[in-house]
Amino acid sequence: MRTLFGDAYDRGEKEVNASLSVQIRQRLFTRLRRRWADYGFIVAFVILILIAASFSDVFFTQRNISNLFRQIVTNGLISLGMLTVILTGGIDLSVGSIVALSAILVSGLQQQVPVPLAILAAVAAGGLVGIINGVLVAHFKLAPFIVTLATMGAVRGVVYVYSETPQTPSDPTFRTLLGGFVGPVPVAAVIMLICFPLVWSFLNRMAAGRAIVAIGGNQEAVRLAGINVNQHIILAYVISGLFSAIAGVLLAARLGIAQPSVGSGYELDAIAACVIGGAVLGGGGGGAIGTFGGVFTLGLIDNLLNMFNVQTYYQQILKGLIILFAVLARRKE
């Protein structure tokens, strides 16, 4: 009898050890695959810089560098918000519509209220959409893809209800302050560059930020630790809405006009920037520093393709392939 139980125990122990060994090998393989993906994007970035330096005499000029930073501001801010949502295991497809909503509100409201109030109302509208997204995802347990797809269409409809025609900011100080320069650096770029270390500090140094990161890794473990999961998921979507709204305000200041159709496809650029920077769709990985690298890489690609007069359709194909490659390289097992 003792031998029988001893043999059963030995077999069970061997099975457990074999299972643990397989799990460890899978985790090591996943980490190595993601690490090589990071190295691949770094090498690609260096190659892009070398190509730019070799084939274009104007790439490293002050004017082009300044223009590059102005172009990446919108995607940079949207990507920060998208990152916080992705870290929870969600996705936000409504960011482009929020950009349009805030841009057209801040431009149209200047005819009735002072510029600071118009900016505040536009940013608050983005935060409100974020609350709606977060509540539907967290409390009603709806799929983030479905929720934000619905709000993307609904918010876009609200934009056209507000104004079917482009709106132009009536206060010249709006463009002067937010669309101007601090030396050679655009004001909007300065705002974006300030936001990245703030988000890094939030995600790595503050309890709420660390909880958001942990939710994407293991939501049930976070819940058992006594952390309010629903509250932090809502917070992530609110952050996404606020950053998208700020991006819309700065875009209106830069362009001097707000089109109701603006922002279409911006969610694709933001997702691409996040996954290039190391974010894992479904949660479990990503950070502000990597996201900035992704934003800058996409901006560099757009800048080079524009220099070589490549049509935007090919740019969209390239971004789609980048997302596919990054997701495959960093997928969860």
Domain spans, the chain = 56-329
Per-residue pLDDT tens over the stretch 243-262: 999 999 999 999 999 999 99
Per-residue pLDDT tens over the stretch 260-291: 999 999 999 999 899 988 898 888 789 999 99
CA distances from 288 to 54, 188, 195, 292 (A): 30, 18, 10, 6
Q: Which CATH number fits domain 56-329: 4.10.240, 1.20.58, 1.10.287, 1.10.3470?
A: 1.10.3470
List the structure tokens of 5.
Answer: 């139980």
Q: What is the pLDDT, as a whole number, of residue 332?
A: 59
The predicted model gives 66-75 an average pLDDT of 94
| Helix, strand or coil, per DSSP, at residue 90 | coil
Q: What is the pLDDT, as a whole number, of residue 165?
A: 95
Q: Considering only CA atoms, which of 195, 191, 211, 194 is closest in space to residue 203?
A: 211
CA distances from 60 to 201, 276, 325 (A): 31, 24, 29
**At 151, which amino acid appears?**
T
Q: Specify the pTM.
A: 0.88
Contact 93/145 with Cβ under 8 angstroms?
yes
List the structure tokens of 198.
Answer: 């703030």
